Chain A
Amino acid sequence: MSDKVNVYINSKRYQAIKGEPLLNVARRNRVDIPALCYEESLKPYGACRLCLVDVKEGAKKGLTTSCTLACSEGLSVVTDTDEIKKHRKVLFELYLSQAPSSEKIKDMAARYGVFATRFELKHQENDKLNSKCVLCGLCVRTCNEIMAAGVINFIGRGHNTKINTPYFESSDVCLGCRACLEVCPTKAITIEDRSNIRIMASWSNTEVELKKCAVCGKYYAPERLDEKVDSLFYYKDKDEKLKDMCPECRKKYAAKKHTLIVKGEAEKYAK
């Protein structure tokens, strides 16, 4: 059973589940805290530092990241002190220099009143991530923790850190699931579908074959991903036909089958 606790954000009371990240509570209640590296389904990481809050009571006092701050009874934080604004400004300036091509970062920074950076813009030649990557690590963590594929990771360190496949060679374990692109806060990743092949342009041009729907002929999912899902998926009526269909056709097939069964004409559909 989950314990409910009361937390206070900017002196307003909110209900939270004991131990959940404070940022979660803030987002649920539309309290504005910026963040780039937070994703509810992943473990808190505390990389982007943008979600700073000032703890007044209930935990170690002072500035801390709200994504790694666990809720407890009576926890009280403030989200907009002058000190936080000052730190946030520097952070946004650093992000503007790190990802000069990212409109998302520009918009986000502008929303918090930062329009220019005093740091050198990091425009790199042949950057596979289009000078938009802020190294928040969401794609890396999603690929490792959720998809359990481990295709990409950080390479190098410090100023030269990159994210890519090992040895910058096309990967033979990539599922082609696009989860990295979905989760990327700056949409830095490029993935193209070319008829029956999905090309992960950002990940050393890794190519993944797509599967064709047996009914409508549409390419709907990467082969490897489909295999993996199939191995986990439990077909209720063990109907092998469902296996090679795209989601659309699956829906139609299942509905039709169901109505026929209801009518008592199931044999009709067995063809």
Chain B
Amino acid sequence: MDKRYIDKILSKYNEPSGKLLGILEDIQEKEKYLSKEALKYVSEKIGVSFSQIYSIATFYSFFNLQPVGEHIISVCMGTACHVRGAVEILNNIQYLLGVGVDESTEDGKFFLTTEDKHFSVNTARCFGCCSMAPVVRIDDKIYGYVKIKDLPKILKEYGWGKK
């Protein structure tokens, strides 16, 4: 972890205690996840207790607390997507990538990373495009009307199955 870039992020916010979410977002954008050291450092710098910051980081499914793979696949589990088969989509993605089933971490977040650190899979709660259900997001791109048979094609765009 580089403390200098965190200092740089903090200096952007003139009232750091009220801007915690913004700070965490910026750190995640840079590092792709929130490391324990980063959270501790932020806590010392802005005077919000470490437990409080950890609580916030675990509350929002947006934040990753573990190192992530190159591409992040988020499967929407919102109501509309759920009804239109999101669970099946998730199971198939897990099968295709060969990552374990239902290995949620102690903090209750669902997060799986392939062995070669190429893909990470997590679940989300609605991207705001329910009309396109079921929806899968890979990095910043949203895929709507996803069918199970389309999954290999989509994953190949991100270099799946090359090895």
Q: B-contacting residues of A (Cβ < 8 Å)?
A: 144, 149-157, 160-162, 165-168, 171, 173
Contacts and interface: CB of A to CB of B under 8 A. Distances in A.
A4 to B, nearest CB: 37
A165 B51 CA distance: 6
Contacts of B109: 156
27 contacts: A144-B52, A149-B49, A150-B50, A150-B51, A150-B52, A151-B51, A153-B51, A154-B55, A154-B59, A155-B54, A155-B55, A155-B107, A155-B108, A156-B58, A156-B59, A156-B107, A156-B108, A160-B108, A161-B108, A166-B50, A166-B51, A166-B53, A167-B36, A168-B106, A168-B107, A171-B51, A173-B50
Interface residues of B, number: 15
Given A153-B51, A161-B108, A166-B55, 16 more contacts: A150-B51, A152-B51, A153-B49, A153-B54, A154-B59, A155-B55, A155-B58, A156-B59, A156-B109, A162-B108, A165-B51, A166-B54, A167-B54, A168-B106, A168-B107, A171-B51
B59 to A, nearest CB: 5
Task: Output the residue of B49, B51, B59, B109 with the most chain A CB within 10 A.
Answer: B51
Nearest to B50: A166
Interface of B: 36, 39, 49-55, 58-59, 106-109
Contacts of B52: 144, 150, 153
Secondary structure class of chain B's binding surface, majority of residues: helix
A216 B35 CA distance: 47
B49 A150 contact: yes
B55 A153 contact: yes
A166 B107 CA distance: 9
A29 to B, nearest CB: 37
Contacts of B51: 150-153, 165-166, 171
Nearest to B106: A168
A246 to B, nearest CB: 30
Contacts of A144: 49, 52
